[in-house]
Amino acid sequence: MNKKTILILFIFLYNTTSYSQLFKYTTASFNSFSAYYLDDSKTGDFNENNRFRSNNYLNIKSNIDKNWNLELQVESYAPNSLLNYSPNFKETNLSTFNIAYNKNNLNISIGNFYEQFGSGMTLRSWEDKNLGINNSIRGLNTKYRINDEFNITALIGQQKKGFKYSKGYILGFDSEFDFSKITNGSTLLLGLSYVGRNDQRTKSEFFPETTHMFSGRLDYSSNSFYSNIEIIDKSKNPITVFGSLSNTFIKKGSSLLFNSGYFNNGFGIDFTFRRLENMSLFSEREAYGNPYNESIINYLPALTKQHDYSLANLYVYSAQPNVSFQTNDLMKVGEIGMQIDLYYFLEKNTFLGGKYGTNISVNGAVWNNLDGNFDFNNQNYDTDLFGFGQKYFSELSLEIRKKWSSKFDNIFLFINQFYNSRFIEEKVGEVNSNVLVLENTYKINDKKSLRFELQHLSTKDDNKNWSAYAIEYNLNSAFSVYFSDLYNYQNPKQEKKIHYYNFGGSYSKGINRFTINYGRQRGGLVCTGGICRYVPESSGLSFSISSTLF
Amino acid sequence: MNLKPIVTIVFMILFSLNNAYSQTSMPNINIKTLEGKTINSKTTYNKKGLTVYSFWATWCVPCINELDDIHNEIQKWDKANVKIIAISTDDSRTKRRIRPLVNGKKWDFKIFLDENQSLKRALNIDAIPHTIVTKGNKIIYRRIGYKPGEENYLYDFIINNSVAKN
């Protein structure tokens, strides 16, 4: 769609909202992330075209009347996107457009829509601007709530990738039954889903053009206990071997998820087990392994604790749902593992709890390759249902949050990690590391506060030890300034002992926020919500605007 | 440098600002209870006074700081005739941590799940923490981010607006 059409659409929307009573309310938001990249004597020169890069998003939603809603999003990349976003994001265009009808228990949506079935393991379309993900589906989505106990969803469409659309089609059906009326105070939900992906472009006599996924899930909750299970069966699909689809290596996939938890006032425990075998599915078969997370149909996040501190995110696990035969001692067919979380509150006015009480949380996770018989030469395998193969990753963490007085509190975090780079990233080596974090917040008065963060990562492997610190000063409710530094002080290569310093500030007032930052970014995996992408090292000035206009 | 796209965007913003009016209400979006039951966001507000909607996630440190800071003085808040709703935007990666965390912290806020971020998107929320205050169903205050001490400002805002109501 060209710019003129977008402008006309916009003016149409503007005029209708301004001069008629048709639209009940309109809301819009604008986001802009820009950077001016600089040459850096330590991390190298900027060798791409266009030093100035900017990602801009304008989103408008409107209630046309009680039943009709309209939404559109225009995106502009000036003329290239920030480093390492998909090349499909280029220049200015209409990104998403949707008209939805909502009456009584019926919801019909035409255009781009976001949807998730169950936990998303069969289907999830969502947007994450930081990761450059917008895999909304363009087509038809119908939801009908038959009664309080039963609702269904049916959809068909093509998936968005950048400003383009995948050639493959997605067909989905989901149903949810609520049996709570007969379970006497507890909740019991049953969900059944189907997702089909039809990709005619890769038509072959060796495998079917449609891949099917059938899924069933059961959720039980009572006052202080819950448990759920989800099982998925995925039909045969060719494995991608060194970048091309195999005509002989064609396998089924499956997934098993079990989760249970118990909680009582002041105490909570949660346990999750998951087994994934050959489970990733893309709306185009050829999109397998693309570095931009484009054309992902199902959401298979890493089930580990998501950390908020930079050194805790140096060696991040990403889920391993795929079949990958690299050499005869590097063969992956999926993952199996578990995670446990414990939360405990030490009461106020006790010896350990102190005046304000103390929060303690523990997390443990371990993820392995599936075990079985792998045949590299004949490209085939069999797996054991509960067999644990080569270990990918494990982590144990302890977090203590303590408020000492009305002015001072801190967070202490300790993490012990094992990261198998060879299997996770298909590189070399393993990393055993310990991370320590201490965050202190001092409230000077109601408006002013000071936050000071210290981090250390110690390891004998990879690039050895790191240290990091950050200082943030909140001048008042609007202004905030910070300085932070990450330093790989034990890197065996002298020239790689680099300070990744950053300083900047933010101004936020109500629903508007502006930030500015100058510094050096560490390259590597950037992960949000269990989905990761690689970013190169860079230096420069960056700024962002986030504003909900009305 | 090609400035055309930027000019277009700025032009669009000016257009939209011209049209700005802030009287919006909570949209009609399906969210879930902790047990997984579907509930309409429009039905969640406090019928007798103000409602604070705090958008958070289990992995968001400032979000938890804000809710902890409110919880630490919950008796004060309870007297203000305000309903506090914490809307979790955790997706399937981290949502299983919500119930143990909430109980481990003894929070007694009402918790709802916005797993695929439908409500967050409908309200044009781009980053969390994000706080919204409604009077009835009408939005009267919004804020992005949280800095230590801001809960006191929020509390004062609520007291001032509750008084105005009576």
Is the predicted pLDDT of residue A184 greater than 90, yes or no? no
Angle, vertex CA A22, rays to CA A20 and CA A27, nearest 5: 95
Cβ contact, residue pair B126, A29, below 8 Å: yes
Please tell me which residue, A300 or B1, carries the higher pLDDT value. A300
Residues 6 or more apart whose Cβ sits within 8 Å of residue A507: A478, A479, A480, A513, A514, A515
Cβ contact, residue pair A129, B126, below 8 Å: yes
pLDDT for the residue A489: 95
pLDDT, chain A, mean: 90
Distance from CA of B51 to the nearest CA of A (A): 17
- Of all residues in chain A, the percent with pLDDT exceeding 70 is 93
The pLDDT-based confidence of A386 (bands split at 50, 70, 90) is very high
pLDDT for the residue A2: 57
pLDDT for the residue A447: 83
A30 in Cβ contact with A10 (< 8 Å): no
pLDDT for the residue B74: 87
pLDDT for the residue B1: 47
Contact residues, B window 12-51, toward A, CB-based 8 Å cutoff: 12-13, 15-25, 28, 34-38
From residue B138, give the alpha-carbon distance in Å to each of A530, B50, B114, B134. Answer: 35, 10, 20, 5
Q: How many structural domains are present in chain B? A: 1
From residue A452, give the alpha-carbon distance in Å to each of A439, A449, A472, B145. Answer: 6, 10, 6, 18
pLDDT for the residue A163: 92
Residues linked to residue A521 through DSSP beta bridges, in sequence order: A538
Query: Stretch B93-98: mean pLDDT, rounded?
Result: 89
DSSP reduced 3-state for B136: coil
Query: Stretch A515-541: mean pLDDT, rounded?
Result: 77
Residues linked to residue A393 through DSSP beta bridges, in sequence order: A367, A419
pLDDT in tens, B103-146: 888 898 999 999 989 999 888 887 889 999 999 888 899 888 88
pLDDT for the residue A14: 55
Q: What distance in Å separates the CA atoms of residue A317 and residue A334, rounded to the nearest whole number?
A: 14
Contact residues, A window 93-152, toward B, CB-based 8 Å cutoff: 102, 114-116, 119-121, 124, 126-127, 129, 145, 151
Measured between CA atoms, the residue of chain B closest to residue A178 is: B37
pLDDT in tens, A259-277: 999 998 889 999 999 999 9
Determine the straight-line distance between the first and last CA of chain B, rounded to whole angstroms. Answer: 57
The pLDDT-based confidence of B166 (bands split at 50, 70, 90) is very low
Q: Which of B23, B58, B104 sits opposite A266 (nearest CB)?
A: B104
Cβ contact, residue pair B60, A308, below 8 Å: yes
pLDDT, chain B, mean: 82
| Burial class of A342 by CB neighbour count within 10 A (0 to 12, 13 to 18, 19+) | middle
Query: Stretch A126-146: mean pLDDT, rounded?
Result: 92
Please tell me which residue, A388 or A447, carries the higher pLDDT value. A388
Q: B122 to chain A: which residues are within 8 Å by CB?
A: 61
Is the predicted pLDDT of residue B52 greater than 70, yes or no? yes
pLDDT in tens, A225-242: 999 999 999 999 999 988
Contact residues, A window 362-421, toward B, CB-based 8 Å cutoff: 401, 403, 411
Q: What distance in Å separates the CA atoms of residue A489 and residue A499, rounded to the nearest whole number?
A: 8
Does B29 map to a domain?
A: yes
The pLDDT-based confidence of A71 (bands split at 50, 70, 90) is very high
Is the predicted pLDDT of residue A19 greater than 50, yes or no? no
Does B158 map to a domain?
A: yes
pLDDT for the residue B17: 47
| Helix pair angle (B61-72, B150-165), 10° resolution | 60
Q: What distance in Å separates the CA atoms of residue A118 and residue A192, rounded to the nearest whole number?
A: 9
pLDDT for the residue B31: 92
A275 in Cβ contact with A234 (< 8 Å): no
Please tell me which residue, B164 or A192, carries the higher pLDDT value. A192
pLDDT in tens, A76-90: 998 889 988 888 898
pLDDT for the residue B163: 58
Q: What distance in Å separates the CA atoms of residue B59 and residue A258, rounded to the nearest whole number?
A: 22
Whether the complex's predicted ipTM is more than 0.90 is answered with no
Does B11 map to a domain?
A: no
CA dihedral (A7, A10, A11, A13) in degrees, to 10, reads 160
- Which structural domain, as residue segments, surrounds residue B111? 24-165
Among B3, B11, B12, B41, the residue to mutate for chain A (most A Cβ within 10 A):
B12
Does B8 map to a domain?
A: no
Cβ contact, residue pair A443, B148, below 8 Å: yes
What one-character DSSP code corresponds to residue B57? -
Q: Which ranges constitute the DSSP H helices of A363-406?
A: none
Does B6 map to a domain?
A: no
Query: Stretch A49-66: mean pLDDT, rounded?
Result: 89
Q: Which of A219, A359, A530 sits opposite B105 (nearest CB)?
A: A359
Does B137 map to a domain?
A: yes
Does B126 map to a domain?
A: yes
Measured between CA atoms, the residue of chain B closest to residue A30 is: B13
Structure tokens at A525: 């995996």
Is the predicted pLDDT of residue B19 greater than 60, yes or no? no
Query: Stretch A286-310: mean pLDDT, rounded?
Result: 89
By mean pLDDT, which of A184-193, A370-379, A527-536 is the weakest? A527-536
- Among candidate residues A456, A435, A333, the one with its CA nearest the CA of residue A392: A333
Contact residues, B window 75-104, toward A, CB-based 8 Å cutoff: 91-94, 96-97, 99-104
Does B36 map to a domain?
A: yes
By mean pLDDT, which of A1-15, A222-236, A239-253 is the weakest? A1-15
Is the predicted pLDDT of residue A478 greater than 90, yes or no? no
Q: What distance in Å separates the CA atoms of residue B81 and residue A50, rounded to the nearest whole number?
A: 55
Please tell me which residue, B92 or A279, carries the higher pLDDT value. A279
Residues 6 or more apart whose Cβ sits within 8 Å of residue A2: none
Query: Stretch A182-197: mean pLDDT, rounded?
Result: 93
pLDDT for the residue A15: 55
Q: Give the CATH number, domain containing residue B67.
A: 3.40.30.10
Q: Which of A10, A302, A361 sits opposite B15 (nearest CB)?
A: A10
